[in-house]
Amino acid sequence: MTDTDPVEDALDTDSRAAARGRLGWLSLTVAIVFGLLYAYDLWEAVNNAIELPKQYAALETLGVEVGEVPWTLIIANMLIPPAIYLLAFVLGMRRNVFGKAVLFAVGLALVAVLTLDIIAIA
- Each domain of the chain, given as residue ranges in start order, spans 6-121
Write down the pTM of the prediction.
0.81
Residue 89 host element (H or E) = helix 71-91
Q: What is the pLDDT of residues 31-72, one digit of tens each?
A: 999 999 999 999 999 999 999 999 989 988 888 888 888 999
Q: What is the pLDDT of residues 95-109, one digit of tens each?
A: 899 999 999 999 999
Helix pair 6-19, 25-61: axis angle to 10 deg: 80
Residues 106, 50: Cα–Cα separation, whole Å:
28
Amino acid at 72: T
Close Cβ partners of 5 (under 8 Å, ≥ 6 residues apart): none
What torsion, rounded to 10 degrees, do the Cα atoms 21, 19, 28, 107 define? -80
